[in-house]
């Protein structure tokens, strides 16, 4: 009983001290300008320190990704035989699973192990889809960074499958942003309105007016042109008749001579 009583008393004293410190802290924060200034300074320092840590972590991550991409491209790192590839693949997948299970600090090494397994797998696009379902999102994003960087450094031939095939099945963040843009649907809706412009141009009316002009021309032509043709034909006939008469008269005069 004495031990339990001592524990309860000590717990009560600690709780009272905590409450008293909280009250004192709140009082100082409200009534002491220097204390408030000190708190603001501490908060700014903590924010700066957090930003530095995030920046340093990002730099370290990029360095590890660059190193992994370069190491994989070196000759002799990846196996060439079928059995060797199979054993290497199983080893790297098991390593990746063990690493990402240890926490966020091991996500980059886990992604590198999965990336190495991807390099020897005969169907990389299918394996990427399996990774998307089997590994945490943070690890999968790192795997995609490795694939993208490998394609940028060594071209499309750097990986067994093309980056375009992977992007078709696993959309990147840039493609998602393009799909999410609200301006494209508006442009598509405005296009049909522009296609309906023939109504305003009234082209059919102009086409209807043209036949009238064409009809008027034939009416004028038959009246004038046939007359000219007939006159010419008549004159030609007259000349022919005159010539025939002259020839006949000549023929008649020659026997008499």
Task: Look at residues 135, 157, 172 and tell me which one is the last residue of a structural domain.
Answer: 172
In this structure, the answer to whether residues 29 and 72 fall within a common structural domain is yes
pLDDT 10s digits, 166-176: 555 555 443 44
In this structure, the answer to whether residues 213 and 147 fall within a common structural domain is no
In this structure, the answer to whether residues 202 and 167 fall within a common structural domain is no
In this structure, the answer to whether residues 136 and 229 fall within a common structural domain is no
Mean pLDDT estimate for the chain = 73
In this structure, the answer to whether residues 203 and 166 fall within a common structural domain is no
The torsion angles phi and psi of 229, rounded to 5 degrees, stand at: -65, -40
pLDDT 10s digits, 4-25: 787 787 888 888 888 887 887 7
What is the rounded CA–CA span in Å between residue 36 and residue 42? 10
Find where tokens 């996500």 sit.
107
What is the rounded CA–CA span in Å between residue 134 and residue 150? 22
**pLDDT at position 164, please?**
52
Does position 156 have pLDDT exceeding 80, yes or no?
Answer: no
The count of domains in the chain is: 2
In this structure, the answer to whether residues 202 and 168 fall within a common structural domain is no
Cβ atoms within 10 Å, residue 131: 21
Q: How confident is the model at residue 239 (pLDDT cuts 50, 70, 90)?
A: low
pLDDT 10s digits, 69-118: 999 888 888 998 889 999 999 999 999 999 999 999 999 999 999 999 99
Which range of residues forms the domain containing residue 224? 198-251
């Amino acid at each position: 009983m004495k031990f339990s009583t001592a524990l309860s008393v000590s717990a009560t004293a600690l709780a009272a001290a905590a409450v008293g410190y909280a009250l004192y802290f709140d009082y100082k924060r409200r009534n002491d300008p220097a204390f408030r200034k000190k708190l603001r300074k501490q908060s700014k320092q903590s924010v700066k320190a957090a930003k530095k840590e995030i920046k340093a972590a990002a730099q370290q991550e990029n360095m590890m990704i660059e190193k992994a991409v370069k190491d994989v491209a070196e000759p002799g790192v990846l196996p060439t035989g079928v059995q060797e590839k199979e054993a290497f693949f199983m080893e790297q997948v098991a390593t990746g699973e063990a690493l990402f299970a240890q926490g966020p600090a091991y996500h980059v090494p886990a992604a590198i192990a999965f990336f190495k397994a991807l390099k020897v797998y005969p169907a990389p696009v299918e394996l990427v889809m399996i990774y998307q379902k089997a590994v945490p999102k943070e690890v999968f994003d790192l795997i995609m960074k490795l694939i993208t960087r490998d394609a940028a450094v060594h071209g499309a031939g750097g990986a067994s499958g093309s980056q375009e095939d992977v992007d078709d099945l696993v959309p990147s963040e840039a493609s998602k942003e393009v799909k999410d843009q609200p301006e494209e649907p508006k442009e598509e809706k405005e296009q049909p309105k522009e296609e309906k412009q023939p109504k305003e141009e009234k082209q059919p009316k102009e086409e209807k007016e043209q036949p009238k002009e064409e009809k008027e021309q034939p009416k004028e032509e038959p009246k004038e042109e046939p007359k000219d043709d007939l006159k010419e034909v008549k004159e030609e006939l007259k000349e022919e008749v005159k010539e025939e008469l002259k020839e006949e008269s000549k023929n008649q005069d020659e026997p008499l001579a």
